[in-house]
Chains A and B, each alone.
Chain A
Amino acid sequence: MKKLTLCLIALALLLPAAALAQSGITANGQLTITANVQSSIALTFKDGGQGTLTVNGADPTQATIALGNVSGAMTSSSTNATVTTSGGNLVITSPFVLSVTGTNTPTTDYKLVASASAPVGTEKIFFGATEITTSGTTFNTVTYGDTTYSLNLQVPLSQGPGAITRTVALTATTN
């Protein structure tokens, strides 16, 4: 009888301890993530193969094409740009690649607007056969990806010698 009583007391002491040590108790939570994804477009420059283009620092959206020293007697400039004369102009040509990526957009093409800074003299800038004006030249439908342009700087042979620096601002907009 005494043993039975002791066993019962021990059991009574153990039961709460066992309950406290219980594992497998769960708690749940729910985390909702929201975002508003918008279309975007990125534009970068790459060299066209003649080595005239240099990206400005770590920003690939700005680049310089150095056409080098040229004269009417040259067929290539000091920086390897192609030099010809045509229609009373000295034509300096070098290709460059414009890389445009469209993201989170259903369109496959974009509109490109190129605006040239004011000329030093009467020289003109062309992308291929299309003149880039100071008021802005629009290329309405350009497919995303790499597009190679031939940059032509046409300097009248009548224009005096000197350095020419022109800037072309490019803006790509998703169609």
Chain B
Amino acid sequence: MRARTIRLCLAVVVICCWAYAAANAQTASGTINATLINKSGISLVFNSNPSGVPLSGAGSYAATLDFGTVAMYGTTAAAGATLTRTSTDFTLTSPFNIRVDKSGTTSNSYRLQAAMAAPAGVYTCKVDGITLPTTLTTIVANDPGYGADVPHTLSLTIPASAPAGALTLTINFTATSN
């Protein structure tokens, strides 16, 4: 009787050990916690205006508008640009588009500001008729045009006395949600 009890106990222990091993050898578990913080944000990109000079880098926040080879006399402006003259300078003008998108905010308008990245020297850059200094200047105080191309006009005035050669100017734009 005693030996039978011992065998029974041993059998139970073996079964338990096997069951334990089977249950633990092939199981792995883990936990991952994903946290999403939906923050408010707006984005600004430049797009070509169908009536203006095509932008390189259109659709991005860093684009280039190339007026090409220009002269006060004897040349025609690049496609999409217009050339006007006074007795002392000439001006190249082209429309371009800015698109501002929003997410996670109920703002229904934005303020658009612009500034020259560096002093323009003898040249004059204007956006929508506003001369740009090197400090941010408001172009539009309350633009409701989120999510759509908003046309603006860029003009570059070159004095007749300016030296010939390559010209590069950079304008920084900032859109701020109202």
Contact = CB atoms under 8 A, between A and B. Distances in A.
Interface in A133-165: none
Chain A interface: which size bin?
Answer: 20 to 34
A40 B178 CA distance: 47
Contact of A103 (B62, B73, B104): B73
Contacts of B163: 37, 104, 106
A69 B104 CA distance: 85
Interface string B109-144: 000000001000000010000000000000000000
B172 interface: yes
Interface residues of B, number: 57
Contacts of B44: 27-29
* Interface secondary structure of B, over-half rule: strand
A25 B107 contact: yes
A4 interface: no
B105 A22 contact: yes
A37 B70 contact: yes
A30 B166 CA distance: 19
Contacts of B158: 35, 37, 104
Contacts of B66: 33-35
A27 B164 contact: no
B65 A27 contact: no
Contact of A37 (B43, B64, B164, B173): B164
Contacts of A28: 44, 61, 172-175
